[in-house]
Amino acid sequence: MKDIALTVGPNESGNIRFGEIIHSLRLNSQLSKPKAAERIGVSSEYIRLIERGERTPALGTLLKMLDIYGVSYEQNKSQVIIDENISVEFTSRIKEARYSLPHQTRNELIGQIVSFLVIADNDTLRKIHSKLLRSIKET
């Protein structure tokens, strides 16, 4: 693949090409959308939207995707170099990821919890449901 430079973010022209690249990387890793989503901690619908260029992930989510897809990268502030030849410059999403770390960490935690719930047995689900109900009633 020749050198590619993209700018991605809300209303950026590079979003569709970026999505195509992410789609190709996922296929190369031999992960289905549901399996990739489970491992990343997002929904398969979100993966679909990214791959279609309709959404761009926060920087932390992108780095997690690349790790799970087994892709090498370098990161410098708002730029990520993927496989040494794809330069991706983030616009406003990088700011959101950088300045909203507690929120991002919360979202990652929720995504991980949801992925655990998907594979939990019924008894575990009932226990978690009961604890959550008690916790909500106490607040």
pLDDT reported for residue 72 = 92
Q: What is the pLDDT of residues 3-26, one digit of tens each?
A: 889 999 888 999 999 999 999 999
Quick check: 10 and 93 in contact, CB under 8 A?
A: yes
- Compute CA 91 distance to the chain's CA centroid, rounded to the nearest angstrom: 16
The overall longest dimension of the chain from CA atoms, in Å, is: 58
pLDDT reported for residue 53 = 95
Classified by CATH at the fold level, domain 1-139 comes out as 434 Repressor (Amino-terminal Domain) (1.10.260)
pLDDT reported for residue 132 = 86
4 - beta bridge partners?
Answer: 86
In the chain, domain spans = 1-139
pLDDT reported for residue 94 = 44
End-to-end CA distance of the chain: 55
> In sequence order, what are the residues at sequence separation of 6 or more whose Cβ sits closer than 8 angstroms to the Cβ of residue 56?
8, 9, 10, 12, 15, 18, 50, 90, 93
**Higher-pLDDT residue of 116, 25:** 25
Whose CA is closest to 80, among 100, 98, 59, 104?
59
Q: What is the pLDDT of residues 65-109, one digit of tens each?
A: 999 999 999 988 778 999 889 999 888 644 444 444 444 577 777
- Compute CA 60 distance to the chain's CA centroid, rounded to the nearest angstrom: 7
Residue range 38-67: mean pLDDT, rounded:
92
Look at 19-33, 46-60, 113-127 and tell me which has the smallest mean pLDDT.
113-127
d(CA 92, CA 90): 7
Q: What is the pLDDT of residues 34-48, one digit of tens each?
A: 999 999 999 999 999
